[in-house]
């Protein structure tokens, strides 16, 4: 097996995706323990632009490998995965990892199937047990984490967004061009005809300084909507648990957790939220956590810096009344 | 246009899931199976294309025989043909072993123009099956799609990306996973639901699909579970108890002291 670990560097419109830099943090540690080279792999139509991206200057990896070709200007799943599978076959890496962005989720499974290897989804922690790389993700049940491993190489996984914090390296990684053979097939069955940028910000929840979140303990949509009033006073955003979104109390893009957004606010308020692990993996890095719950035994109460044992509706009504007067 | 194939999954209804407290595994029998909610978008998209172009829609699902009611639900929505992929050898499959079965079944259904799936299931939630299946079939795939239009022998596909929306032109056949965000979902027709009661459906197993057992199910899955563990929590911070009004006052005070409330 070769001496490298590959990470996919999502490069879109001249910028590296922050999610690709995040995943370098755990991979760097693994690569040091196993004495392997960590390579960030970027596909682009212009090497110069990659060199100009300042956020790559201190990327935590040994080398940045760029595959440059005019056909790589647009993201096309079939072509991108053919290129990446080819690179994987050349390097025989120990592992090949992707951020769980929509591009990552589109590419990693195509490559895994092409190579006939396993792929772990939404991994939020990596750990070495001897030679074996253990990948962790929450699973069914309260606070249960599944440890997965792969029997095939390269070990492949998509890493959960927001699960790791970006760290800078001490040296500038070398940026190298990697050439594909003359006869490489650059064709694609896909043509990008038009693009529209989203008008709304990608997600304000994930960068909010204050998150006011609510769960089923709020009992009704009417109560849940009061969180928006409180969020206004605190200059924060409203977040929710999955059952609350499914019940239609709010839109799904407010969901915090493994199926939704990860948040890292200075203040997180949880009204009537039990703290199931699928939710807490998306908020456990909050600086200060306050839980409002009737149940002293709820996991979020245990995690909280301050736990208020009371009826969430009453507390919410009272503070809103006070704030309005 | 040739036929459309829709892949749907039966998933445990969220509130009925019970977990064995000792072994931390799902007690499957305890759970009621429902149609994976995101797959409704795949079925709806198929029916819209059927309305417009009069194509045949084949719906398939891999799972135990108790996913049959879910296939019948799809018939109620307008599916023409139902296929159950069921075999003990399929049990315990990871996404690769699942995709091998689905891809092989799709091969036997050629010619087809489009394979539709949901973005992800609400139980395994990997979102991996659609692109893995496409890759095994050597077809293009697009995930998180909002709309599909068929024009002059090609598909126009609108996908939502992390940066916005893209309009793609793709030659058939292709595999698409639909975003759950559709504006409208038709209800099933009661007449068709009644017809579905005595409906014929096909069951295909490993032998029918000429798939060797060593690449199927738990055995053929390269992704393995090493174990599960419980994250034990200890009380980390302060516990406040008392009258709600008094607690709310303390709460407000805390928010002010920490600088989160300016009033
Ligand atoms: C594959 C999978 C993925 C998932 N992904 C996510 C995800 O991304 N995000 C997510 O949030 N969930 C997710 N879930 C669901 C998760 O497991 C929990 O079911 C969910 O987070 C619980 O939501 P909740 O806290 O609102 O409800 P509950 O667990 O029902 O908790 C309600 C809480 O309110 C308290 N309460 C009751 N009455 C009151 C009152 N009057 N005042 C104050 N408190 C009260 C209760 O004590 C309880 O602690 C996922 C589940 C699965 C299986
Ligand atoms: C908690 C948990 C974690 C898991 N983690 C992993 C992992 O990391 N890696 C891994 O390889 N496997 C994993 N699995 C196993 C995986 O869930 C199964 O392989 C499952 O059969 C398919 O994957 P999915 O449910 O994630 O489907 P997804 O890929 O999320 O489903 C997307 C779409 O594919 C179609 N589809 C999926 N399954 C079927 C089916 N049986 N029949 C017809 N259409 C279908 C549906 O249209 C569905 O909407 C995990 C399972 C669980 C319960």
Any domain includes B154: yes
Cα–Cα nearest to B63, from B90, B27, B25: B90
Which option is the CATH number for A205-324: 3.20.20.70, 3.40.50.300, 3.40.50.1220, 2.60.40.10?
3.40.50.1220
Any domain includes B178: yes
d(CA B123, CA B12): 7
pLDDT at A61 over 80: yes
Cβ of residue B238 closer than 8 Å to a chain A Cβ: yes
Cβ distance A319 to B223 less than 8 Å, yes or no, reads: no
List the CATH number of the domain containing B21. Answer: 3.40.50.620
Could you tell me the distance, in angstroms and rounded to a whole number, from the CA of residue B148 to the centre of ligand 2? 24
Could you tell me the distance, in angstroms and rounded to a whole number, from the CA of residue B240 to the centre of ligand 1? 21
Quick: pLDDT tens for A85-134: 999 999 999 999 999 999 999 999 999 999 999 999 999 999 999 889 99
Q: Which ligand is nearest to the CA of A239?
A: 1
Predicted pLDDT of residue A162 = 81
Predicted pLDDT of residue B24 = 62
Cβ distance A307 to B237 less than 8 Å, yes or no, reads: yes
pLDDT at A70 over 90: yes
Per-residue pLDDT of chain B (263 residues; tens, 9 = 90+): 999 999 999 998 877 777 676 666 667 666 789 999 999 999 999 999 999 999 999 999 999 999 999 999 999 999 999 999 999 999 999 999 999 999 999 999 999 999 999 999 998 899 999 999 999 999 999 999 999 999 999 999 999 999 999 999 999 999 999 999 888 999 999 999 999 988 888 999 999 999 999 999 999 999 998 888 877 778 789 999 999 999 999 999 999 999 999 87
Cα–Cα nearest to A66, from A47, A84, A90, A81: A47
Cβ distance A17 to B162 less than 8 Å, yes or no, reads: yes
Any domain includes B252: no
Q: Collapsing DSSP states into helix, strand and coil, what is residue A302?
A: helix
Give the residue-averaged pLDDT of A275-280.
92
Quick: pLDDT tens for A238-252: 999 999 998 999 988
Any domain includes B121: yes
pLDDT at A288 over 90: yes
Could you tell me the distance, in angstroms and rounded to a whole number, from the CA of residue B139 to the centre of ligand 2? 20
Predicted pLDDT of residue B30 = 65
User: Residue B151: which domain range?
Assistant: 3-215
Cβ of residue B27 closer than 8 Å to a chain A Cβ: no
Quick: pLDDT tens for A23-39: 999 999 999 999 999 99
Helices (H), A116-260: 221-234, 242-246
Predicted pLDDT of residue B23 = 63
Predicted pLDDT of residue A260 = 85
Q: What residues contact B110, with CB distance under 8 A and at least 6 apart?
A: none
Give the residue-averaged pLDDT of A142-150.
86
Predicted pLDDT of residue B76 = 97
Domain boundaries, chain A: 4-177, 205-324
Best probe of the A interface among B244, B245, B254, by most A CBs < 10 A, is B244
Pocket test residue of A98, A116, A121, A158 for ligand 2, highest count of atoms within 8 A of CB: A121
Predicted pLDDT of residue A202 = 52
173-192 in chain A: CB under 8 A from chain B? 188-192
A205-324 and A4-177 share a CATH fold: yes
Any domain includes B95: yes
134-163 in chain B: CB under 8 A from chain A? 134-136, 139-144, 156, 160-163
Cβ distance A109 to B128 less than 8 Å, yes or no, reads: yes
92-151 in chain A: CB under 8 A from chain B? 101-103, 105-114, 116-122, 129, 132, 134, 139-151
Closest C-alpha residue for ligand 2 atom 47: B117
- The class (CATH top level) of A4-177 is alpha beta
pTM: 0.87
Choose among A13, A117, A311: nearest Cβ to B222.
Answer: A117
d(CA B252, CA B246): 10
Quick: pLDDT tens for A176-226: 999 999 999 999 999 999 998 876 555 578 889 999 999 999 999 999 999
Q: Domain total for chain B?
A: 1
What does the DSSP assignment read for chain B?
--EEEEE--EEE-GGG--B-TTT--B-GGGSPEEE-TTHHHHHHHHHHHHHHH---EEEEEES-GGGHHHHHHHHHHT-SEEEEE--GGGTT--HHHHHHHHHHHHHHT-SEEEEEEES--SSS----HHHHHHHHTT--EEEEEEEEEEETTEEEEEEE-SSEEEEEEEPSSEEEEE-S--S--PPPPHHHHHHHTT---EEE-TTTTT--GGGSTTTT-SEEEEEEEE------SEEE-S-HHHHHHHHHHHHHHTTS---
């Amino acid at each position: 097996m070769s001496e490298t670990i590959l990470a996919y560097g999502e490069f879109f419109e001249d910028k590296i995706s922050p999610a690709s830099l995040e995943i370098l943090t755990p991979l760097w540690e693994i690569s040091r323990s196993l004495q392997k080279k960590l390579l960030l792999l970027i596909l682009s139509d212009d090497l110069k632009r990659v060199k100009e991206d300042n956020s790559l200057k201190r990327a935590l990896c040994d080398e940045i490998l760029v595959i440059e070709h005019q056909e790589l200007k647009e993201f096309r799943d079939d072509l991108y995965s053919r290129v990446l599978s080819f690179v994987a076959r050349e390097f025989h890496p120990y592992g090949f990892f992707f951020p769980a962005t929509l591009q990552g989720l589109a590419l990693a499974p195509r490559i895994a199937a092409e190579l006939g290897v396993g792929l772990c989804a939404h991994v939020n922690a990596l750990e070495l047990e001897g030679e074996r790389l253990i990948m962790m993700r929450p699973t069914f049940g309260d606070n249960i984490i599944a440890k997965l491993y792969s029997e095939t190489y390269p070990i492949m996984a998509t890493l959960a967004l927001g699960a790791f914090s970006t760290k800078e390296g001490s040296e500038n990684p070398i940026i190298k061009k990697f050439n594909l053979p003359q006869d490489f097939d650059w064709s694609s069955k896909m043509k990008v005809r038009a693009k529209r940028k989203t008008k709304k910000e990608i997600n304000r929840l994930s960068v909010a300084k204050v998150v006011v979140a609510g769960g089923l303990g709020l009992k009704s949509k009417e109560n849940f909507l009061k969180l928006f009033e409180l969020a206004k006073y605190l200059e924060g955003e409203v977040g929710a648990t999955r059952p609350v979104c499914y019940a239609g109390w709010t839109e799904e893009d407010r969901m915090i957790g493994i199926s939704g957004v990860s948040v890292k606010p200075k203040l997180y308020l949880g009204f009537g939220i039990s703290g199931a692990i699928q939710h807490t993996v998306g908020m456990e890095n909050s600086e200060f956590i306050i839980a409002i719950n009737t149940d002293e035994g709820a996991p979020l109460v245990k995690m909280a810096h301050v736990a208020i044992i009371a009826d969430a509706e009453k507390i919410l009504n009272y503070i809103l009344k006070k704030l309005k007067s | 246009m040739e036929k459309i194939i829709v892949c749907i999954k039966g998933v445990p209804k969220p509130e009925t899931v019970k977990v064995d407290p000792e072994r931390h595994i799902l007690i499957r029998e305890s759970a009621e199976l429902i149609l994976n909610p995101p797959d409704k978008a795949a079925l709806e998209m198929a029916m819209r294309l059927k309305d417009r172009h009069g194509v045949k829609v084949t719906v398939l699902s891999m799972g135990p025989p108790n996913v049959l009611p879910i296939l019948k639900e799809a018939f109620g929505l307008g599916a023409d043909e139902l296929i159950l992929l069921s075999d003990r050898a399929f049990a315990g499959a990871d996404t690769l072993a699942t995709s091998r079965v689905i891809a092989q079944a799709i091969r036997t259904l050629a010619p087809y123009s489009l394979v539709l799936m949901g973005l992800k299931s609400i139980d395994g939630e990997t979102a991996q099956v659609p692109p893995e299946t496409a890759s095994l079939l050597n077809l293009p795939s697009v995930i998180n799609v909002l709309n599909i239009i068929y024009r002059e022998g090609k598909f126009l596909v609108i996908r939502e990306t992390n940066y916005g929306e893209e309009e793609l032109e793709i030659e058939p056949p292709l595999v698409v996973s639909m975003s759950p965000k559709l504006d409208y979902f038709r209800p099933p027709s009661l007449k068709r639901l009644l017809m579905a009661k005595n409906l014929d459906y096909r069951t295909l197993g490993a032998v029918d699909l000429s798939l060797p057992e060593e690449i199927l199910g738990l055995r053929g899955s390269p992704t393995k579970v090493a174990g599960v563990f419980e994250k034990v929590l200890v009380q980390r911070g302060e516990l406040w108890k008392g009258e709600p009004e008094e607690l709310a006052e303390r709460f407000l005070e805390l928010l002010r002291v920490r600088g989160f409330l300016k009033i």
